[in-house]
Structure 1
Amino acid sequence: MRILVVEDDAGIALGLRTNLQQRGYAVDVCASLASAWAALSSEPFDLVLLDLGLADGDGGDLLLRLRQARAAAPGALPDPLTPVLIMTARDQVADRISGLNLGADDYLVKPFDLDELEARMRALLRRAAGRAHPLLVHGELVVDPAARTVLRAGEAVELAPREFALLLLLLESRGRVLSRQQLEARLYNWQDAVGSNAVEVHVHHLRRKLGEGLIQTLRGVGYFIPREDGA
């Protein structure tokens, strides 16, 4: 999953990026409203972590602008439905009410525990995917995003971080074909060096570990995991 951190405190931004990357997320950082809007207008993000007190203005203005955006078509950017979690030192009830009324999906007061932050992130990502259950179950597979574990027919399967992220993306999008470019955009951040066959390699590894029939290829288009109803 790809996360945009909008934070102008370099120390906090670095700590968040490092910690979240270690937990398997692709993370990009913007320190200003202008750069954050440019990022949202050009790249797909699964979640935005938004500070309010930015050098060039209030993060609430970015949130309002995002929520008022009109996506011209599916996949158009910026996506006004992108989940946003406000993270700020503003701890008054009125501040929380204001942030939520502007369209934030959650509000977390600094300083916060990183485990709590990730739990809230998972809840927002789960809601955005349209599911309530914390586990992803598909046939003999049981995937726990919180514990980052995969069971196949009750047996644990070890996946590399990028393999796990790719599996989550495909499971969350069951029945929908995702192109290599779409997958790369969700798996890698701006600093990552992406090989031309990186996605193909990860798919190969997942098939070897989880079964050849799990991930299907639509030649010339992309990859998908069929829904269990066969669609």
Structure 2
Amino acid sequence: MALAVPANNSNVILPPPPQNPPTIDNVGRARRYEANMTILQLQRGTLANAPTDAECGLVAQYSLAVAAKNAPASELQCMCYISHISCVDAAPAWFHGALQAALDPILQEVQGLRGDVQMLRGEVGAMRRDLVILDNRSKGDGLRVPFAAVCNGAGNLPEPNLGLPALTNITVLNTLTQGQAAGWYQHYFPGGPANQSKAAMVNQIARYIGYSAAL
């Protein structure tokens, strides 16, 4: 049975009756009819013959019906199930497979994007660290303008509970205790040899944060 085009009192031109089953052109005309009615509905209060909510509702139902009758049976089944999903206790077996097949490429794309974002974050972090190091190199011994804090390769500063002093100038570097030097060394060079002298560790720490003169 062919679908009847609902009339209106707003002088909106009706589309021709759809074929049975409707063609894709019929779907487009129905959607355009619905859009035209919606545009006039939004002018209620300024337009004397603006369509009522009931008229727009009938046109919306008509547009959906045309699209539904045009859709292949499998797609229509999915549409009907999704539209009534809240009334169904359990999804049928066919729906899970169809949904998974549709979601798999999307999920793969999302995973790829996550990897790209993580890589970009790492690159941005490395660039920021390099800029801080370059800036520290311009500060000489850090006594007039203190060195800025430099993150390690993971983008972190030491945990506050370690009690390591901020490496703001050459004086701080020269007065690090053996334990403090070891703490900073392990922060910047995790897994590095632990049996180095304090002087060797301090020199490597100083170069890492941008101080290149001999200590």
- The TM-score by the shorter chain falls in which range? under 0.3
Higher share in helix: 2
Higher share in strand: 1
TM superposition score normalised by structure 1:
0.21
Considering Cα pairs closer than 8 Å and 6+ residues apart, tell me whether 1 or 2 has the greater RCO: 1
Larger radius of gyration: 2
